[in-house]
Chain A
Amino acid sequence: MSGDSAASAPGRSGGGAGRPVGRKAAGSRWGRFLESGLLQGGVQGSPVLRLFMRWVRRPLLPVMRLWRRNIQLKVVVTTLLMSLGVVLLLGFVVIGQVRNGLLDAKVKASQSQATGGFAVAKQRADEAASRTADDPTAVDGRSSQNVIQWMSDLVSSLSSGGQGAFDVVTLPAGDNSGSGRGPRASGGVDPNESVPQDLRARVNSSTTAAQSYTRIIYSGDKDSQPALVIGKEVNDPNGDPYQLYYLFPLTQEEKSLSLVKGTLATAGLFVVVLLGAIAWLVVRQVVTPVRMAAGIAERLSAGRLQERMKVTGEDDIARLGEAFNKMAQNLQLKIQQLEDLSRMQRRFVSDVSHELRTPLTTVRMAADVIHEAREDFDPVTARSAELLADQLDRFESLLSDLLEISRFDAGAAALEAEPIDLREVVRRVVSGAEPLAERKGTHIRIVGDQQPVVAEADARRVERVLRNLVVNAVEHGEGKDVVVKLAAAGGAVAVAVRDYGVGLKPGEATRVFNRFWRADPARARTTGGTGLGLSIALEDARLHGGWLQAWGEPGGGSQFRLTLPRTADEPLRGSPIPLEPKDSRRNRGLNDAGLPRGGGEKTATVPAQPTGGGQVPTRDPIAPRLAAVAPTADPTALPGNGARVVPRPAGPARRQGEQPVVEAARSTAPSGAADAGPEESNDQGEAVRGR
């Protein structure tokens, strides 16, 4: 339980650091997508066009953002578009049908009228012809009947029946220059322009009537108008053919049609607006509670657990609100309970530690007396006395670690930051770990201490962290070298402790920081430290606003990195040292020893603890191969740091080349440590305690 509450803090801070970066990356990717979609699709290369596209796109961006975010807008716009489409379709269909209906009626009426007119014209011609035939004065065929006046009279009388309903036109048969007969037209119609040529050709070639649509052109100021024209070839009294046309203006039909059009357009506009308004209202009724719920949920997730939705009525939205509120209430209750429980447990641990301390002192004193006098005891009793003293030491350190942890949990830990040079701290720690290293046959090297590495930090806590890391590295280093590297860049300082021991199995890099976590549960508690060392170190780093992170690969050793801001309160944005060292197997591109590539490495942005024990079978000569590594930039390193980070491996690689010799010489040394058990540093600031 206490682990949960402790984990929530790094999770949040880690999330806080990681999320904006991720969102920014996503945003830029979206931007790139947009750019590629909008620009590279049609416009390739041309900077002018690109500028133009940008200029066009700029005012659109807010609109697009609004479109992405606003469901109400989406629904209303979609509704408007769809209803507009339906209205347009409906309009086309209706107008088409009305037009056809009007035309049908007009065409039928016009045809009967025109047919009657043609019959009248024929009858008149016959009458005139017979009158001439009866007229004894007329000379035989050579006398051309006087058709000029007859035809004008015919057009006049035919058109007088119309009075605006139709106009009559006569045209000579054949083309325009035919037979000396001029066109005649009533009502100011321009005959040559108004009668279409193909209708003339058709009337010329056939004896039946033909019709067509045309536009009447008037010779005066009158506007032209659409019309139906029906024509037929008729004979005049002399038997010469001429063309007689009836032109029916479609003015009334057009007026009716435009009335229908106007009505439909108005109705359609109203329908579209109405549908849009309905959609807006409906969506608003749904979206408003959803937005409210979203706001409340955001506030809940921000920790304001007492926030509740307003619920009115009994509809679905109200049910949603009620369920939401119930959920929030239950959550609040549970969280409250959990918090209470965890607080109680922490207090319990702290109380227990305190309460145990007083009797422990007494027991300690008594045990010391017994321990002093052990030489007087028989061997079995003496051995018991020794065991008692050992376990009391352990108990005591465990108790003090517990107290420290409970102090962190209670938030009672205070940071006393002052500018310190980390090199001094590191030297102090290394020299403190020297005896243990000698016992293990390990050589501890310090890299990057040419220049001062100054940071605002609590020297005691930093020293405790580093001691923990160094001692761990020595203990799990299996006698190989331990490298302590220092670096400072970009407002951050970092200390990395690298060992070449058994390393970490996948997933362990995060788990190493768990309380009482052990790499091998089979190992007795008796052999290790308290199991709280890395937890405390993590809390210390966090207190500084820094990071403590672990990296390891099975058989490839591990690296622990402490990153601290150069000045307190300054948020960290990166670390001067990459978490994964350049001489890792992956970076070297090796997959030796049959290990599946990529399976072994594990980097963690969440702090992890290196394994307490190097239980993985050792694979010795790793280091020589490190020399071949082509250094690459580490993604976790600060961008500005790459230049400083990259050239370095030349040095360590060369030095690491010597390592096998050293390690080979000391390879037997750690074997004795199995019994002795690895020593772990305590948080008390005490020196490594041997057994």
Chain B
Amino acid sequence: MVADREGGARRTPGRAVAYVACGVVLLAGCASMPDSGDLRGVESTPRQDTQVRVFPMPPREDAPPSEIVQGFLEALTSDDPHYATAKQYLTATAAKAWQPELSTTVLADGPDTQADSAGTREDGLDFSFTLTGTKVALVDAQQSYTPTEGSYSRQVHLTRDEKSRQWRIDGLPQGVVMGQSDFQRNYMSVNKYYFALDSAVGASSQPAAVADPVYVRRRVDPMTQMVRSLLNGPTTWLGPAVRSSFPSGTALQKGVSELTPDDQNRLTVPLNDKAARIGPAKCNEMAAQLLFTLQNLTPAVDEVELQAGGAQLCVLNEDGAAAVAARGSARHADYLYFVDGENRLVRIPAGSRSAVAEPVPGELGEGVRALRSAAVSRDEHTAAGVALDGKALYVGSLASGGSLGEPVVRSTGRTEKDRLTTPSWDARGDLWVADRNPDDPRLLVLPEGKEEPLTVQIPRLDGRIQSVRVAADGVRIALIVEKDGKQSLQVGRIDRGEKDRVTGKPQVSVLDLRSAAPQLEEVTTMSWAGDGRLVVVGREEGGVQQMRYVQVDGSMPEVPAPDALTGVKEIAASEDDRLPLVAYSVDGIVRLPDGTQWQTVVKDGSAPVYPG
């Protein structure tokens, strides 16, 4: 033992110094913040939900009538799935008769209550209030949003139960009513997807998916609500132009109350027997509809499994869904096109910062014809250009050496502003253009971009078309319609009817125009910016020019408006939200990449467009 210690003592000095040195180095490393190190991914933490929730309260004992009405209105703004608490404010018969799902009336400031002068009965056992307010919108039973206006006034009648001596509501309007901010807190807009009728995108036989926005309650199991809504079929407005791959009568299996994806983000949807006898192709379409519909909900769904009668029908993931159907927002544009200072059509790679524009191949890029504006087909093989004077529309291939030939459409408008608009391509390859000639305003469509132009029937068009943009699905079309110096943004449904028996030409019409931005008094320019969304530059009554997003159904989307930009003349957005917004303003062509300010792309240029 002693010898050991002596040996240790002899070894010590050299090693001790080494140990001490190591220790000092280690300590020095630990005692300061690291300035280098290995790379690691950062998991995004979801933003905390700061949404305000209203917790409904059942009526108090011996509450006065005004309190009953207030409590009832408040309970309507809660997350109660079936309005059970709100129904406690009603008499038993009224609770049975009341259907809250029937409609949702959105008032600007919520309902004001006014006590009516006196009850109708002598015994003082009844009371009535009038709910008043300014209507903003109405969500119908199909959950589709319709902007409305006008004043709201409904009566609410209360009686006093003779036995319990409690005031309860026995007469009330159907549906629920709430203020706009409560509506925005409680509801959210979700697109459900159907397939365009008879539409085949390009050469492939993929059907085009059409977005059908509906409003669902945000915190009342939106996933199941959306699945049910999807199974119920498209809304009335879109219905004639789309088809659902679900056989009619398909519904969730009985007893299924809640759908939640599992750990692998896979959602199992049990359907009833109506869907039991369908082929795999159809089933894939159904699953694709579900996937498209549920993709923007949380929790995320990556895969859908359909079941019917307890047996698995098919399983589809996102890649599979992309193969089944085409969505405008899934197509990535390669280039951004615009007309440069020499009136040539030039392009730069989409999303890049490079300011060096190259002329497109073909005559359009060679400056043979001076162009004012242009449109490039969605496959980026063909382009259409409007001559500088707006009198003629040329269509040419983007392959090098392609010639333009004769104009396919001519306008006879007196001034430049009365001639052809910027054309627009849909996903089928049809070219749309409007002639602004006040004497002969017309909307033309050139099937395949080269055939004889057809005049589109627009019943109930009130005014002159100033601008045309077709959605990628080829089912919806956005028009700027001018009347009496005021422009409005209208969205219509394209209806491709049977061929005319006399001329043999197909009949194309735009039906059911509705206002997508009723607040705007003046609309300068617009562009599709998503499946159900448009970006609009316009001016509200008494306001200044601003840029904002609008939903197709006229509601305000949740995404914030892009940064303000002055003097915007034209705007181009892609339905693929990864591509930056591009505008032609007084500063030339500018763009807005994600999370930054507007940047100048080219000083000298105009009419920027993405394919479409």
Contacts and interface: CB of A to CB of B under 8 A. Distances in A.
A172 B57 CA distance: 10
Contacts of A191: 55
A605 interface: no
Given A143-B112, A152-B182, A187-B50, A182 B1 contact: no
A186 interface: yes
Interface in A168-186: 168, 172, 176-186
Interface stretch (B65-73, B436-444, B471-479, B508-516): B65-73
B185 A152 contact: yes
A627 to B, nearest CB: 72
A148 B56 contact: no
B71 A182 contact: yes
Given A139-B114, A148-B179, A149-B181, A184 B2 contact: no
Interface string B174-187: 00001111100100
Given A186-B52, A288-B1, A146 B57 contact: no
A459 B52 CA distance: 119
A359 to B, nearest CB: 65
B77 interface: yes
A153 interface: yes
A192 interface: yes
A37 interface: no
Interface string A24-44: 000000000000000000000
Contact of B48 (A146, A179, A187, A288): A187
B2 A182 contact: no
B245 interface: no
Nearest to B66: A144
Most-contacted residue by chain A among B49, B61, B63, B74 (CB, 10 A):
B74
Given A149-B109, A180-B59, A180-B71, A186 B50 contact: yes
Interface in B1-56: 1-2, 48-56
A206 interface: no
Interface in B220-274: none
B505 interface: no
Given A183-B55, A288-B1, A163 B70 contact: no
A619 interface: no
Contacts of A185: 52-53, 55
B75 interface: yes
B331 interface: no
Contacts of A142: 114-115
A182 B56 contact: yes
Contacts of A147: 70
A146 B588 CA distance: 48
A183 B112 contact: no
A192 B51 CA distance: 17
A14 interface: no
B110 interface: yes
B2 A188 contact: no
A170 to B, nearest CB: 9
A181 B57 contact: yes
Interface in B82-123: 109-115
A153 B67 CA distance: 20
Contact of B75 (A152, A153, A182): A182
Nearest to B85: A182
Contacts of A162: 50
B55 A192 contact: yes
A430 B179 CA distance: 139
Interface in A143-165: 143-150, 152-153, 155-156, 159-160, 162-164
A312 interface: yes
Contacts of B181: 149, 152-153, 156
A180 B185 contact: no
B53 A148 contact: no
Chain B interface size, as a band, is 35 or more
B60 A177 contact: yes
B78 interface: yes
B110 A149 contact: yes
A399 to B, nearest CB: 60
Given A144-B113, A186-B50, A186-B52, A312 B2 contact: yes
A152 B54 contact: yes
A47 B181 CA distance: 80
A573 interface: no
A310 interface: yes
A149 to B, nearest CB: 4
B114 A177 contact: no
Contact of B78 (A144, A163, A182): A182
Contacts of A179: 60, 67, 70
B55 A184 contact: yes
B66 A183 contact: no
Contact of A184 (B53, B58, B68, B109): B53
A501 to B, nearest CB: 66
Contacts of A159: 50, 52
Contact of B55 (A144, A178, A182): A182
Contacts of B55: 182-185, 191-192
Nearest to A165: B48
B50 A146 contact: no
B60 A148 contact: no
B179 to A, nearest CB: 4
A155 B181 CA distance: 12
A167 B59 CA distance: 27
Contact of B74 (A155, A181, A187): A181
Nearest to B129: A144
Interface string A186-221: 111001100000000000000000000000000100
Interface in A97-152: 139, 142-150, 152
Contact of B67 (A150, A180, A192): A180
B30 to A, nearest CB: 13
Nearest to B60: A177
Interface string A534-557: 000000000000000000000000
B110 A146 contact: yes
A180 B70 contact: yes
A168 B50 CA distance: 9
Contacts of B133: 146
Contacts of A167: 50
Contacts of B113: 143-144, 146
A155 B70 contact: no
Contacts of B66: 144
Nearest to A148: B74
A575 to B, nearest CB: 50
A133 to B, nearest CB: 14
A146 B179 contact: yes
A687 B180 CA distance: 144
A142 B130 CA distance: 12
B50 A149 contact: no
A466 B48 CA distance: 113
B48 to A, nearest CB: 5
B48 A163 contact: yes
10 contacts: A152-B54, A162-B50, A163-B50, A167-B50, A180-B70, A182-B57, A185-B52, A186-B53, A187-B49, A188-B51
Interface of A: 139, 142-150, 152-153, 155-156, 159-160, 162-164, 167-168, 172, 176-188, 191-192, 219, 288, 310, 312
Which 6 pairs show the lowest CB-CB distances between chains A and B? A180-B71, A149-B179, A149-B110, A180-B67, A177-B60, A180-B70
Given A159-B52, A181-B71, 10 more contacts: A142-B114, A144-B70, A148-B110, A149-B110, A149-B181, A152-B54, A168-B52, A179-B67, A183-B54, A188-B53
